[in-house]
Amino acid sequence: MTGNIVQIQRFSTQDGPGIRTTIFFKGCNLRCAWCHNPETIDPKPSLGFFPDRCVGCGLCSQACPENAIGPHRQSFSPEKCRCCGICVQTCPENALSLFGEKKTVGELMALLLRDRRYFDNSGGGVTASGGEPMLQWEFIRELFAACRQNGISTALDTAGNVPFAHYEALLPLTDLFLFDMKIYDDAKHREYTGVGNARIQQNLKQLLDRGAAVEIRIPVLAGVNDSPEDMKKTAVLLGNAPKKVKLLPYHTLGLEKHLIVGQNNTRKFQTPEKEHLQELAKLFACPVEI
């Protein structure tokens, strides 16, 4: 079995406690309007292009066996590209990148074990993120079982939209669930993410009822999900069961990634004021980090 991976980020400090290696899995079943990782959405491999690095030398066009790239890279035909990676190797400016690589558990463990002492010294470990890593839950079960055998702590960053049985399979192997709660209101959730939130809320409740360690992550977008009324409803739903709630104010970092993967999505939202976030934090019964 192999995992479909976009990126592996070592020495991460944002994806759970301590120093971590975060593995970004490819494929997602939500379509959040503010997505910061668009390269992870499509489960298929894809070619990324960094226009600001390109000097228009045309070497990629000459090298492509499928004629998918026009001279000097002024055009690209994704339907012709079979993601062979030849142009990526050819480009002298690192202006091209392949998103999506198959990795075995053995290959990932070799990488993780190199950082074992950083994990041990900092209370860190590995985090499976994405995309939606739970779309590859069977592979993650194998990976986390290997981590258990090697004493590496595990965290799973999920948006919650898969059958609960899949979480159940991972419960004994997961030290911390980083669970996204995007919008309390179901209709609004559907409008901004493409799916309703009934299953997500049900999964969260079941994880909490089963005593799993859960950190809730709420992206906060001004005018979308930052009303005290909506946040209060989320706070009531959670009670004091989660380990921690993290409010993540919207930011525009990463918006240019949409251009890198060939999407013209430049939709922007507003970042809520810090004082407003501090007021929202007071609504929760459990510890809140902003």
Looking at 53-61, 120-128, 199-207, 233-241, which segment touches ligand SF4 (CB under 6 A)? 53-61
Give residues with Cβ within 8 angstroms of 172, minimum separation 6.
none
Q: How far apart are the first and last CA of the chain?
A: 38
Minimum CB separation from ligand SF4 for residue 9, in Å? Answer: 23
CA torsion, ordered 44, 79, 9, 215, to nearest 10 deg: -50
- Cα(221)–Cα(270) distance, rounded to whole angstroms? 6
Would you say 123 or 262 has its CB closer to ligand SF4?
262
Of 9, 12, 86, 265, which lies in the binding site for ligand SF4, with binding defined by CB under 6 A?
A: 86
Minimum CB separation from ligand SF4 for residue 127, in Å? Answer: 29
**Count of residues in contact with ligand SF4, rule CB under 6 A:** 27
Q: Which residues of 37-62 are buried (b: 16+ CB within 10 A; e: fewer)?
A: bbbbbbbebbbbbbeeebeeeebbbe
Minimum CB separation from ligand SF4 for residue 76, in Å? Answer: 7
- Cα(187)–Cα(5) distance, rounded to whole angstroms? 32
Interface with ligand SF4 includes 55 (CB under 6 A)?
yes
Tokens 């919650």, residue located? 160
Interface with ligand SF4 includes 93 (CB under 6 A)?
yes
Interface with ligand SF4 includes 84 (CB under 6 A)?
yes
Interface with ligand SF4 includes 261 (CB under 6 A)?
no
Would you say 93 or 101 has its CB closer to ligand SF4?
93
What SS3 state is found at 38? helix
Of 8, 12, 18, 59, which lies in the binding site for ligand SF4, with binding defined by CB under 6 A?
A: 59
Interface with ligand SF4 includes 71 (CB under 6 A)?
no
- Cα(18)–Cα(288) distance, rounded to whole angstroms? 18
- Cα(67)–Cα(12) distance, rounded to whole angstroms? 38
Residues numbered 17 to 46 that lie near ligand SF4 (CB under 6 A) are none
Of 18, 70, 81, 227, which lies in the binding site for ligand SF4, with binding defined by CB under 6 A?
A: 81
What's the token pair of residue 75? Answer: 């055009």
Would you say 98 or 255 has its CB closer to ligand SF4?
98
What SS3 state is found at 228? helix
What's the token pair of residue 244? Answer: 């921690």
Give residues with Cβ within 8 angstroms of 165, minimum separation 6.
none
Question: Taking CB under 6 A as the rule, which mask of x and - marks residues 188-227 in contact with ligand SF4?
Answer: ----------------------------------------
Interface with ligand SF4 includes 260 (CB under 6 A)?
no
Residues that bind ligand SF4 (CB under 6 A): 47, 54-60, 63-64, 66, 68-69, 72-73, 81-87, 90-91, 93, 95-96
